Structure 1
Amino acid sequence: MWAGTKLIVAIAVAVMLAIDPSSLSIAAVGVLDLAAIRLARIPRTAFPSVPPPVWAVVLIGSAVLLSASGPPFVVIAGLHVGLGGLFQFLQLSALTIVLLLTGAVLSWTTDVADVAPAIATLGRPLRRLAIPVDDLAVALALALRSFPLLIDEFRVVNAARTLRPAPELSGIRRVRQRIRDGVDLIATVTAMMFRRADEMGDAIAARGGTGQLTAGRTKLRRSDWVALAIAGAVCATALGLDVTVGGIGGPPGRH
């Protein structure tokens, strides 16, 4: 599948959720993400583990918002408890999860080298407005390719810093020493970033310039049209059903 197709679907999903962040729309996007994960055969090991502090924050937030009044109401031990705040918190959490999952699926199934040509092709109409689409696509492609290099460089510098013997300080001196170490680490990583950028620029120039980064396949295949049709049908159905039941602009209790 062409990378531009995935970008179109991701943008359409984000726009739909921005217009109508209802439970039905969130569920529709979740179904699309699960179907994409199934078709792409993404293993379970690709999913990051959730740290315990995140679960603690979720539980605390749920407990705090449980006290907020709002329909629907339930009777617990003779007390009328409104679950409106809790439902809104869960809806917001689900919205965050599906957006992150959509971006993760796009990242897992797309080669970094295919992103720049797709953006250059999709942004072709903007060239009439004198917008440097190719330059923006090249900058994005280089930024995506530089992330792994920067992570490795930071790990090497941090490992070298931890090997140095740390002075035994206490109180305010210890805090000042940590601040100095952080500043030194940032300065070292910045210098290494410039060195990496210079090396990458020489390599790009030796291979024919930045024009090669935006050259790629732009022809839509049958799988691309099928994916666009399915995504469009799901989004249109979700919006149509939500408008029918009064989700857009309706009261929070009906979301």
Structure 2
Amino acid sequence: MTAAAPRRKPRRQVVLLRPVPGRTVMHDLWAGSKLLIVAAIGVLLTFYPGWVPIAAVGVLVVVSARIARIPRGVLPSIPGWLWFLLLLGAVTATFAGGSPEFTVGSVTVGLGGLLNFLRITALSIVLLGLGAMVSWTTNVAEVAPAVAKLGRPLRALRIPVDEWAVTLALALRAFPMLIDEFSVLYAARRLRPRDVDARRRARVSQWASEMIDLLAAAITVALRRADEMGDAITARGGAGQISAVPSGPKRRDWIAFAIVLIVCGTALALELTILGTSGPRR
């Protein structure tokens, strides 16, 4: 008897724009508060991308995930080629040298480039985690009213804030549906039998024909979904109802603002005075 081949563990897909079920403080925060917090943290890390602010924001993300009871299953599997690219980037950045340096025999190795690469990688991971937290704890239907309320001062300039908010909400709502539809189309394409042809030109022509068929099917599915969504919006009173839902910050939102302000302010003070040396790039 031959031993059965080990089954390959299926990869976990990226779960975005779909809130994790639950009712926690993070889920109950106003969507506009989350958007403002993400924007403020993004500005902070843009001008002061030091280790201390990155670590402070990382702690905020981890604590928020614990409070929101985010399961580990929502984290996607990291492919092997991404680890290889990170390792290649780290090795390449090491050749840039820079302080601090250490000597091995007669060779002086600088770790400045490697530390900068690690800092940029950590910054990217923190920002991705921050965006994922908003996605996992925010219902898409709450985004349009929040954007409309935050953009209310722009109405004096005759900027169509409500229309922009509705467009953003529809795009966020349609994105997961289209991903599911395209996944089904791709799976159906892989199940189709393929004609094996030894000629390279024939294989290229077959591949191009399959891609054209797949794109045509994807466009058809997108148009069908758009028509169904338009009928649903019309039946519920029109697009104006999407951004007309009353929303606004509450007491828990002001507490969240205060916590973020204290943590980020403390991290910035430490970065500029005691622990850090990197200021804003000029």
Name the structure 1 match of 2:256.
Answer: 227
What secondary structure, in the 3-state scheme, does the structure 2 residue paired with 1:208 have?
Answer: coil
Residues 1:94 and 2:122 aligned together: yes
Aligned residue number for residue 50 of structure 1: 78
* Among 86, 94, 98, the residue aligned to 1:66: 94
Residue in structure 2 matched with residue 202 of structure 1 by the alignment: 231
Counterpart-to-counterpart distance in 2, 1:138 and 1:83: 49
TM superposition shift of 1:217: 4.0
Provide the C-alpha distance between the structure 2 equivalents of 1:241 and 1:250, rounded to a whole number of angstroms. 17
Give me the whole-angstrom Cα distance separating, in 1, the residues matched to 2:46 and 2:194.
Answer: 50
Q: 2:278 aligns with which of 218, 242, 247?
A: 247
| 2:13 alignment counterpart | none
1:128-178 deviation line (CA, Å, top 9, x unaligned): 111111111111111111122212221232233333332212312212221
Counterpart Cα distance in 2 of 1:250 and 1:202: 51
Give the secondary-structure state (helix, strand or coil) at the position aligned to 2:193: coil
Q: Distance in 2 between matches of 1:250 and 1:103?
A: 24
Correspondence 1:139 to 2:167: yes
Q: Residues 59-106 of structure 1, C-alpha deviation per residue, up to 9 Å, x if partnerless?
A: 111112112220000123442210001001001101110010000000
Equivalent position amino acid for 1:88 in 2? N
Show structure 2 runs of 5+ residues with no match: 1-28
SS at match of 2:76: coil
- Rounded to whole Å, the distance in 1 between the matches of 2:230 and 2:123 is 40
Structure 1 unaligned segments of length 5 or more: list them.
Answer: none
The 1-side partners of 2:76 and 2:242 are apart by 30
Judge which range, 84-93 or 161-170, deviates more: 161-170
Aligned partner of 1:164 among 192, 195, 198? 192
CA distance in 1, matches of 2:84, 2:170: 37
Q: State the secondary structure of the residue aligned to 2:109.
A: strand
CA–CA separation in structure 2 for the residues paired with 1:227 and 1:60:
39
Q: Secondary structure at the match of 2:197?
A: coil
> Does the Cα contact within 8 Å between 2:166 and 2:242 map onto a contact in 1?
yes
Matching residue's letter, 1:44 = R
User: 1:249, 1:207 → 2: CA distance?
Assistant: 49
Percent identical pairs in the alignment equals 51
Shift of 1:23: 1.3
Matched, 1:178 2:221: no
CA distance in 2: counterparts of 1:246 and 1:158, whole angstroms: 50
Measured in 2, the distance between the counterparts of 1:81 and 1:131 equals: 55
User: In 2, distance between residues paired with 1:132 and 1:31?
Assistant: 38
More helix per residue: 1
CA deviation map 1:172-203 (0-9, x unaligned): 22122212211221121112211211111111
Distance 1:61 1:162 in 2: 34
Q: Distance in 2 between matches of 1:246 and 1:163?
A: 57
Taking a change above 3 Å as real, the CA distance of residues 57 and 132 of structure 1, as seen in their structure-2 partners, is same
Looking at structure 2, the residues matched to 192 and 68 of structure 1 have their Cα atoms a distance apart, in angstroms, of: 49
Equivalent-residue separation in structure 1 for 2:34 and 2:237 (angstroms): 28
Aligned to 1:126: 154
* Number of equivalenced pairs: 251
Contact kept in structure 1, 2:146 and 2:248, CA below 8 Å: no
User: 40-49 or 148-157: which moved more?
Assistant: 148-157
Q: TM-score, normalised by structure 1?
A: 0.92
Normalized against structure 2, the TM-score is what? 0.84
Asked whether the equivalents of residues 141 and 169 of structure 2 are also in contact (C-alpha less than 8 Å), the reply is yes
Q: Runs (4+) of structure 1 moved beyond 6 Å?
A: none
